[in-house]
Amino acid sequence: AGSRASVTQRRKRSLVLSDWWSDDLFVGEEDDPLGAAECKVRVVGLGRGSNHRGMMEILKNEAPRWNAVVAFAPTGWSWTKKMETDEGFDVNPWVENDGRTRTYSVPYSEHSSYTELREFVKFFKPKKITPTVNAATRKERDKLVNKHFLDLVDLKQDSSKLDYYFKNKVSAAPSKTPKENSNDVIVIESENEDEDAEVKVEAEVLSALNGDVETVRRQRELWKRFQMQNSTQKAPKGPEPLEPFPLECIAVVRSGEYTQFRSRAHVEQRLEELGATVMSRVTSNVTHIIVPGKGELANEANRLNALRQQDEYRDHPSALRVTEGWVMRHVRARANNVAPEHSEMQLKAFEEKKKLEKAARLAAAKRKREEKK
């Protein structure tokens, strides 16, 4: 796509810890909202941007920047036998809105691979395994276990297996190797004594990593480097000077987890006290959309606001997206009698605008009456 991919802060942390982060490939939404706004590729939570309604919002909010939006949803639940071909997989997209939005559900999962699953079962030697994917019946579940994990399961605990009836003889055999203490701890020594207390790793964890102490050490170094990088970054700019509350604010409050207000209803109440008109859904005359101060909705609001700094989007007709912090700043300013006020020129211009709009509505109503006659 000739573009970096914008990612959330949580995804950035995962990439850094995996040693996959590259400034040439990714940009953090919170670190650089403007850079994220310019990206053609965005990594979002599953279902967040792959639904057609969400994709249409991108087309609408950033028009005329994009002609179409394509989403790739990696999930193992999309797999069916019809996808299998001699050359691999054949994925047919879900197309809506006259081809302007389409989603490809790719059969791929972030969970453990087949080899890793076998290693996990081999390590714990469970009494029973219950498959949950493509295993609606007992027969299907048994088929999956027998095909992939039968040699790793402790069959002596399953009464449906012949091994169960010989378990007493087997268990009576003396153990040749003493049982290791599961509470043993492996310590990675460091020159810094303060680090030693943090580098103690339980033997089970290292065993799962095949005793790969270097992997643990490398992840710790990556995480420290990431924290150091964040601490050396420029201090975030303070909030912009508070402007007067809009003379005409028609707002919609999105659902979510609000931290500065008790609930969505509390936000709506405060907006009405400030003089805003609160709507239940987004229409063409809505001027502001309020979202929680954290999470994907907040990141999206910051990204769109950064986009508005560009000349081509400065006068975009879509509603402004602001976080709850914007509302709280106006509420506190009003409560402390320090709320900025509009100038006389702005008030006169607003009154003149309302008069013109009223005159236009009356003229339109008059034309309709005449057309009916």
256-300 per-position pLDDT tens digit: 899 999 999 999 999 999 999 999 888 888 999 999 998 878 888
User: How much is the pLDDT for 252?
Assistant: 94
The closest of 91, 64, 66 to 78, measured between CA atoms, is: 91
Q: Are 253 and 278 in contact (CB under 8 A)?
A: yes
- Per-residue confidence band for 328, with pLDDT thresholds at 50, 70 and 90: very high
Task: Please write the tens of the pLDDT for every residue from 25-54.
Answer: 999 988 888 888 888 888 877 655 558 888
Beta bridge partners of 102: 70, 95
Tell me: the pLDDT tens digits for 302-312? 888 777 777 66
Spell out the domain ranges in the chain: 5-107, 343-372
Nearest alpha carbon to residue 313 among 64, 27, 54: 64
- Which of 57-66, 340-349, 357-366 is the least confident region? 57-66
Written as six digits, the tokens of 99 are 């081809």
**Which pair of tokens denotes residue 368?**
């309709």
Q: Which residues of 36-65 are buried (b: 16+ CB within 10 A; e: fewer)?
A: bbbbeebbbeeeebbbbebbebbbebbeee
Contact 292, 34 (CB under 8 A): no
pLDDT of residue 135: 81
pLDDT interval class at 156 (50, 70, 90): low
Task: Give the pLDDT score at 234.
Answer: 55
Mean pLDDT, rounded, of the chain: 79
Question: Residue type at 192?
Answer: N
Strand ordering across the sheet containing 250-253: 277-279, 250-253, 288-291, 320-323
The C-alpha atoms of residue 13 and residue 167 are separated, in whole angstroms, by 48
Largest CA distance in the chain: 105
CA–CA dist 187, 332 (Å, integer): 52
- Kindly state the average pLDDT of the residues 197-218: 55
Residue identified by tokens 């879509």 is 318
pLDDT tens for 102-117 read 988 887 766 777 788 8
| Number of residues written out for the chain | 373
Q: Which residue has the higher pLDDT, 178 or 369?
A: 369
What span, in angstroms and rounded, lies between the C-alpha atoms of 330 and 333? 5
Residue 32 neighbours by CB distance under 10 Å: 17
